Amino acid sequence: MNAPDNQPPQATTSAGYRELLRAEPVLIVIMGTVAGHLLIMGMLLPVLPLYAKTYGVGDATLGLVITAFGLGRLMIAIPSGLLADRVGRKVLMVGGPLLIAVGSVGCALAESFGWVVAWRFCQGVGAGAYMTTAMIVAADVSSPETRGRIMALHQSALLIGAGSGPAVGGFLAAQYGYQSVFWVSMAIGLASATFTLWRYRETKSEPRKGEDHSLRAYLPVLQSPAMRLALIVSLALFLTRSSAFNQLLPLAGEERFQLGPGQMGVGFAMLAAANLAMLPYAGSLVGRIGMVPMIVMSCLGLAAGMALAALTGSVAGFFVAMVVLGIASGLEGPSLSSYATAHAPGERYGPTMGAMRFVGDLGFVTGPVLLGALIDHTSWGYGGALIASAVVLVATAALFGSMAEEKN
């Protein structure tokens, strides 16, 4: 979808996105299944701690249902990148949702808390395999002209699913009990696998002669200066942002302003709306001002939002901070994915996206632990942890902005 030489790509118009979806029907499969996948994860978010408590475990043990899922994602990220190149994308695009469905059934029928943790690990493996492969497919069908828009579409589907999930899960649990959420999750997983089997066409190119599918395939990714910078940014973002969104903001809001779950829900809805509103423009800006400036701006924007949330003295200021975080997140998603795709060594998207998912999940798993330890062992509190996160992001932006190079 190249624009004429004398005109810029019409990436900001809705017609441009419609044209892109018509030209690449596989994007409809990706958007539908990504939204379904994140809907499952969002549905389980408000239910899991309460469901785990029905097994009579203590508060310290409850976190295992989150940790097990994260570990499953972490462990499958590297193998997924290799398998996607070896056996094709479709196997993982179908197998991931099926594993999520199996894990959902296991959680619904589990007779002990230990089995809930085990089946959550199974869900994590399925989720990691699917999400890594979905990123690879998005890279497969992208070009320098369409890359920003494709990554924006991917991020939009993710946000739609994640944003609607908690409300759906809360409604199901209130009306039909906790186990109903797992049964609906199973149905969505099966529907995603079926839809993929029906509509997905393989996007993997023919393997090059001598193409390596062992762990050595990751060496070019680690040896690439551009990719090392991308991995550092991904680690910093997941370590700070996931901890802030899932842990620090709700606790800081409750401690400083006595914001309950309902009020925080409004704040996160504002964050998600700002994020979603930015994505059409982010897809265009990637092409207009470049990936490197976009990534730097998003890191600085996230740092500003976290600092404002930590320092503001009013509820209004706290909600403004959440909107700033949403805007910055909307700029970050398409730009970092586009950068990694553009700099994939030898256009090997499997190892490239596998590495990006691995370091992202590593930050997702370790961030809450590290920042929790900072809160427990210092007098900084939740605001201090937000400031520390902001400092990490500013340092990351400075490093990336001074060393990264733009590439089509």
Return averaged pLDDT per consecutive 10 residues of the chain, 408 residues in all: 36 57 84 91 80 77 79 90 87 95 95 93 94 89 81 82 80 88 95 92 71 80 94 93 80 86 78 83 81 94 96 94 92 88 88 91 84 84 92 97 85
Matching fold, domains 21-202 and 217-408: yes
Tell me which long-range contacts 356-360 makes (C-beta under 8 A, separation of at least 24): 356/135, 356/230, 356/231, 356/234, 357/73, 357/77, 357/80, 357/81, 357/128, 357/131, 357/132, 357/135, 358/74, 358/77, 358/78, 359/231, 359/234, 359/235, 359/238, 360/234, 360/235, 360/237, 360/238
The amino acid occupying position 288 is R
Kindly state the tokens that stand for 123.
């869900």
The amino acid occupying position 331 is L
User: Could you identify the residue written with the tokens 């056996």?
Assistant: 87
Which pLDDT value is given to residue 188?
A: 96
Which pLDDT value is given to residue 209?
A: 59
Which pLDDT value is given to residue 207?
A: 63
Instruction: Pick left, alpha or beta for residue 405 (phi over 0 → left; psi -120 to 50 → alpha; otherwise beta).
Output: beta
Which pLDDT value is given to residue 15?
A: 45
Which pLDDT value is given to residue 14?
A: 43
Task: Specify the CATH number of the domain 21-202.
Answer: 1.20.1250.20
| Domains of the chain by residue range | 21-202, 217-408
Question: 217-408 domain in CATH 1.10.3720.10?
Answer: no
**CB distance 165 to 268 below 8 Å:** no
What is the DSSP-derived secondary structure letter of residue 378?
Answer: S
Distances (CA, A) of 175 to 24, 167, 168, 169, 377: 40, 12, 11, 10, 41
Which pLDDT value is given to residue 60?
A: 59
Which pLDDT value is given to residue 3?
A: 38
pTM value?
A: 0.80
